[in-house]
Structure 1
């Protein structure tokens, strides 16, 4: 037996020739976030039984904390809005361009091809009513392909996926903390063990196992070791991101990939604790430090912005924008909630804005004056217009949202051993697996997290269903 101990939770691998469990399912899924729920819905559509196991009383995970935006090309929703020039190949090229070619090529291709059909299936079979955000482009995307539900929140996405699972009659065991994987000597998963809140231990046998639990952002020790630049950053993700999949993978001798990759966010509103849409930055807003200066090209991406913000005095910056950009921001419910909580400051003059930020008014005036030149800033950014009073400001810091490294998987989401061979019936997707952002913060293309969750969940369902159907056919012969 091999153990990894984190925050009092033991992650165990146990070996046995067979498992006499209280219950059996064809596919067990650890984690009922977007990845697990999508996989379960696709398995249901394929006629495969599954059970979702969720540690929390109510499934939420990183998805519920996100904006709920999913990038996908060539979808029904795009066509409905007159967008007909996107493609998986174009999307894959955007992913690799953002990652500087360091994302896993086979996985990039697989996800770029799978996400559109998955989005369409969720709409056509399970009632998710997607819209495409078409009034701005997120960093790195060459086409409008960011899909959202009309509510534009991750909580709404989770609620819709949960409602679809309930309507399909898919069992979801909540408050079921999986701590043990049972395998035979050939590395075939036999089932899992999990604990209930009263300490009772239960077991579930399965024909295939999908690890859809998230990454390690909530594991302070792993963050200090693997992401030292984020060691003191605010964690804006879900506390359940404890690195379970990585710990089990290490115990199994599985290969790990891209552990230095993660999604940061340079627009974590403080002290309210919410994400402010980066659309405001892309459309002309800017980040100002306590010296009254800009300090990076905001259009490069909100993930790497986290590192830039944390490097400023006090690890603080101010998002500065004007009335037209405020109207854009108010189109996002998360911002409206933060504004209601007192995050927004109105300043009728540069002097008031400087007092709000705590910087020198002359330095701030010089920064604002450069925006009107329409020439490239020293960092390369070009502003098409300046900001006009009244000015608005929101205090932000840099945060770690979720990690992008994890178990190495192939294009079918099968977990790989050190020699590159797949484990017989162990799958991983979403935050449990290495994603498509490469091995650094700047490789994260907007939406890569939910891309990995939804596309990965759909592919894992396809792989598990094919395996189970093949086994059934061989037994019938």
Structure 2
């Protein structure tokens, strides 16, 4: 399919060889969690690589996320006494959330690779994981959500950057890749990139990994492919301009699941920050301007974005009480939103109704219905009612990142239209189609960083094997 775009031009040039300033084993486009994980794994394998990053400081969607990565069978799980998880159980959870519409080969590949990837980052590069074991995120049947102790995406990026720097891996910042160089057999031989002063430079490579995320920052693509999110707030990185898709179209690659994405129904407004969905999972509710609940909050924060945007004014209020406030304050993102004035305290029902701007009797009826054990109309069952004082945070629905992209095999090699792999062009993370199927409700919590970290890990091993094979063939 053809995708229109308002992004800067992304070119593909053909040549037998490239006259590049430098030649490396693997060129990596994008210095987010995917690109940096791949770089670290390549370093461990003894393969020279260079990471190219468009920004002055690597951040991307990773730094804007909560920084939580799901993985089964890890050292961190065992250290905390969490048992019973496995790649098979994780894969089943992914497919259950996606209603069986996630790519089976990728589900299996990511479920198998996620644990070894996190263990390698911990054992060899000092990323000390903890498992969030106070609650279950939507769709997960066991505690497997990993984070650094700071519990932020910014901390995750800082940890990966520190590891890359300690390993001596070159990261070229302010290097906007706009051209892929391929030979006539579709073998990637290098990239062209622009500097802020307009200067153009080239880098030759034996393998190329696209780790440049999706198209959430490209308004034209979002309007065309995700019309329900066309007017939504965008909580991702503006650099997610669809470059991988545009290059893929130019070389005849196959695209997959372009209707898949991660939304978030708890984007604090007007402050612009994520509020942890743990509050909803543990008994919080979303109330609209009419004083009513409007969906089962425990189904997931991604599809909640669409539900919230469908409410009057496209907003809702997250309503919770003191014990849940204590839980929320365990997440730095919430603390920042609270410091910015997002939290409202309401000592009674009348004050809460005035805060929301709804009819007090309607709100009273809504909250009265949250009796312990009472089954709601949407099927949700509450363990206890909310108790005054109440707390409220105004939220809207947001688009965070897309889950569709280049179709790849289980080894992360990009596939042609006929399903055959390109020789040495790989894609992972948001640049590739993920494991959320083709709709917002298919997103299992953490799927974005799962595809970034597990995908980067797999791509590095594939690239290393391709390079070793090529060296053996040429006798060097």
Specify every segment of 5 or more residues in structure 1 that has no aligned partner in the other structure, as ranges: none
Match of 2:8 in 1: 9
Report whether the alignment pairs 1:29 with 2:38: no
Contact 1:4–1:12 under 8 Å retained in 2: no
Q: After the TM superposition, which parts of structure 1 deviate over 3 Å for at least 4 consecutive aligned residues? A: 3-8
Match of 1:391 in 2: 390
- d(CA) in 2 for partners of 1:6 and 1:48? 35
Q: Could you tell me how far 1:476 is from its partner in structure 2?
A: 1.8
Per-residue deviation, residues 432-477 of structure 1 (Å, max 9, x unmatched): 0000000000000000000000000000000000000111112228
Match of 2:299 in 1: 300
Number of residues paired by the alignment?
475
Match of 2:151 in 1: 152
Report whether the alignment pairs 1:81 with 2:80: yes
Contact 1:191–1:204 under 8 Å retained in 2: yes
Q: Could you tell me how far 1:374 is from its partner in structure 2?
A: 2.1
Report whether the alignment pairs 1:338 with 2:337: yes
- d(CA) in 2 for partners of 1:222 and 1:241? 11
- d(CA) in 1 for partners of 2:223 and 2:256? 17
SS at match of 2:462: helix
Match of 1:463 in 2: 462
Match of 1:273 in 2: 272
Report whether the alignment pairs 1:435 with 2:434: yes
Contact 1:4–1:11 under 8 Å retained in 2: no
- d(CA) in 1 for partners of 2:440 and 2:154? 25
Contact 2:343–2:393 under 8 Å retained in 1: yes
Q: Could you tell me how far 1:84 is from its partner in structure 2?
A: 2.0
Match of 1:58 in 2: 57
Calculate the aligned-residue CA RMSD, in Å: 1.1
Specify every segment of 5 or more residues in structure 2 that has no aligned partner in the other structure, as ranges: none
- d(CA) in 1 for partners of 2:339 and 2:7? 38
Matches within 5 A, 1:435-454: 435-454=434-453
Match of 2:225 in 1: 226
Contact 1:30–1:36 under 8 Å retained in 2: yes
Contact 2:3–2:221 under 8 Å retained in 1: no
The two structures have a TM-score, normalised by structure 2, of 0.99
Contact 1:12–1:179 under 8 Å retained in 2: yes
- d(CA) in 2 for partners of 1:232 and 1:32? 28
- d(CA) in 1 for partners of 2:105 and 2:154? 31
Q: Could you tell me how far 1:148 is from its partner in structure 2?
A: 0.3
Per-residue deviation, residues 362-402 of structure 1 (Å, max 9, x unmatched): 00000000001522100000011000000000000000000
Match of 1:47 in 2: 46
Report whether the alignment pairs 1:109 with 2:133: no
- d(CA) in 2 for partners of 1:53 and 1:246? 18
Match of 1:476 in 2: 475
SS at match of 1:308: helix
Per-residue deviation, residues 289-321 of structure 1 (Å, max 9, x unmatched): 000000000000000000000000000000000
